[in-house]
């Protein structure tokens, strides 16, 4: 994080005593954003669902009245892996769409100075493969396995464009790649590929199992961003960006699922073998973000190498296994 640290004095000045609402601030990504904001001297408000149900505009407006934020970072979301999308497509669609619309509208009414929408690479057209640049976002609908989630996030970018045009409202839209790291959900129904693999290999090691099954051929290429790097990037973008055009946030480095699995296998200490279940689908063969605009705009790039991030994440999971497995 060398480049980020050279910018630290500016960040401290920007965030010191600034009132910030972080929706989803107790979640996987949100907790890391909150920790950084607090260290930088921000006055952080973390709304909880039991107090503020963001599927109602009234609760969103009450949150703004209670917190009086200058900046809102909207990271709250209901999501999960492919299994969750198959089980609850309607719930995922409705809650994310309405939460995004409500919290941005309440922020506008409360004269929030900057709104930071946390989007997802799932919003990119499902037929596209390769390296995806921001201009590709509008070239089609998301993959059918995540369309109910991806479109809700894309609509926040549309809302930001409309609000800028009519109200002069300042909102930025950050498109995040696949995240991993301490604090993720390792619940099999909610976890994504890195967390799922870590749990499989650690549990196989503890059980002295002979093999671990991994779905697919291992050939698809994906991109993985360490969550602490992502939190740094979000805060940097919140300070420096005012462009209404969405901005990719990632590493720009593709890694095959086979390489990911083999590295996790090695670092976990599991001594058995990997069995590839090729009857399971691979999905898109390559999905990596073009981060050239991010590098130029933020003068920043993530610093955690995948191998180092995996090592730290495995260590965290082993020491927090019971908590991590029970996280919803």
| Enzyme catalytic residues | 149
Three-state secondary structure of 129-164: CEEECHHHHHCCCECCCCHHHHHHHHHHHHHHHHHH
The span from the CA of 66 to the CA of 92, in Å, is 27
Tally Cβ neighbours within 10 Å of residue 318: 15
Q: Cβ contacts of residue 256 below 8 Å, gap of 6+?
A: 218, 219, 220, 221
CA distance linking residue 320 with residue 276, whole number of Å:
28
User: Residue 124: exposed, middle, or buried by beta-carbon count in 10 A (0-12, 13-18, 19+)?
Assistant: buried
Please say whether the beta carbons of 180 and 125 come within 8 A.
no
Specify which residues 191 forms β-bridges with: none
For residues 253 and 309, is the Cβ–Cβ distance under 8 A? no
Neighbours of 219 (CB within 10 A): 13
Are 87 and 105 a contacting pair, CB within 8 Å?
A: no
Cβ neighbourhood burial of 53 (10 Å; 0-12, 13-18, 19+): middle
């Amino acid at each position: 994080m060398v480049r980020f640290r050279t910018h630290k004095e500016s960040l401290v000045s920007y965030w010191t005593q600034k009132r910030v609402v972080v929706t989803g601030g107790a979640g996987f990504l949100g907790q890391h954003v909150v920790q950084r904001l607090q260290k930088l001297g921000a006055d952080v408000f973390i709304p909880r669902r039991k107090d503020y149900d963001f599927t109602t505009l009234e609760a969103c407006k009450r949150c703004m009245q209670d917190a009086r934020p200058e900046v809102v970072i909207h990271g709250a979301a209901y999501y999960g892996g492919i299994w969750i999308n198959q089980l609850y497509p309607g719930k995922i669609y409705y809650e994310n769409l309405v939460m995004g619309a409500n919290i941005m509208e309440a922020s506008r009414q409360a004269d929030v100075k900057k709104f930071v929408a946390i989007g997802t690479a799932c919003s990119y057209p499902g037929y596209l493969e390769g390296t995806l640049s921001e201009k590709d976002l509008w070239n089609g609908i998301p993959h059918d396995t995540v369309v109910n989630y991806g479109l809700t996030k894309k609509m926040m970018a549309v809302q930001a464009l409309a609000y800028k045009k009519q109200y002069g409202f300042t909102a930025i839209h950050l498109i995040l790649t696949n995240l991993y790291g301490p604090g993720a959900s390792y619940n099999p129904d909610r976890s994504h590929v890195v967390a799922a693999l870590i749990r499989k290999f650690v549990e196989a090691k503890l059980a002295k199992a002979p093999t671990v099954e991994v779905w697919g051929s291992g050939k698809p290429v994906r991109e993985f961003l360490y969550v602490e790097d992502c939190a740094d990037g979000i805060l940097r973008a919140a300070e420096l960006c005012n462009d209404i055009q969405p901005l990719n946030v990632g590493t720009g480095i593709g890694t095959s699922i086979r390489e990911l699995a083999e590295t996790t296998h090695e670092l976990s200490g599991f001594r058995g073998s990997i069995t590839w279940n090729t009857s399971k689908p691979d999905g898109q063969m390559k999905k990596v973000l073009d981060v050239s605009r991010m590098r130029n705009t933020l003068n920043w790039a993530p610093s955690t190498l995948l191998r180092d991030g995996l090592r730290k994440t495995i260590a965290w999971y082993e020491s927090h296994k019971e908590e991590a497995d029970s996280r919803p």
